[in-house]
Amino acid sequence: MAATVSRARRKQDSEPKPPTGAIPAKIQEILEQLTVAELRAVISFCEAQVQDKSDGERKALIEETERRAAELGFTVRDLFGEVTRSPNRKRKPGPAAKTGGAPLVKYRGPQPGDTWSGRGRKPAWAKNLNRDQLEKYRVQAE
């Protein structure tokens, strides 16, 4: 039984691996022989190629759209409004985010570290205190 398992395992190991994604087997073989530094260089090169080809395809699409619109007597602005050609277009600034951080401490409890901002549920140390009793733990504004 053990002999058949090991033979089956050897047969699986000797079979070539199926290609991953759309990468041809020849390229996979070459990539497997490269060092980490060489692979990083290949990645950088490929990212630059993707960017260049994307920019080219984008330009071609814009030119084709402008040509087709002109054939029909329109401008791109007529069809889509204001068009910018900047691939690095920035987002419009939105409302400023509140960066106040944690709320200030309004009450300090009987034990060190017992604090409460006065917001949300009362902490355990303040649960049974009424408003007048809670005032003795109030922190004086500085």
pLDDT of residue 49: 93
Q: Are residues 27 and 72 in the same domain?
A: yes
Q: Are residues 82 and 116 in the same domain?
A: no
All residues at 6 or more sequence positions from 55 whose CB lies less than 8 Å from its CB, including other chains: 87
Task: Dump pLDDT digits (tens) for 23-78.
Answer: 898 989 999 999 999 999 999 999 999 999 999 999 999 899 889 988 999 888 88
106 with 117: CB under 8 angstroms?
A: yes
What domain range includes position 64? Answer: 23-86
Bridge partners of 24?
none
pLDDT of residue 12: 54
pLDDT of residue 53: 93
Q: Can you tell me which residue has the tokens 């004086």?
A: 140
How many domains would you assign to the chain?
2
Q: Are residues 29 and 77 in the same domain?
A: yes
Taking only Cα atoms into account, the Rg of the chain, rounded to an integer number of angstroms, comes to 34
Give the span between the Cα atoms of 31 and 46, in whole angstroms.
Answer: 13
In sequence order, what E strands does 8-127 have?
107-108, 115-116
Q: Which residue has the higher pLDDT, 88 or 29?
A: 29
Q: Are residues 30 and 58 in the same domain?
A: yes
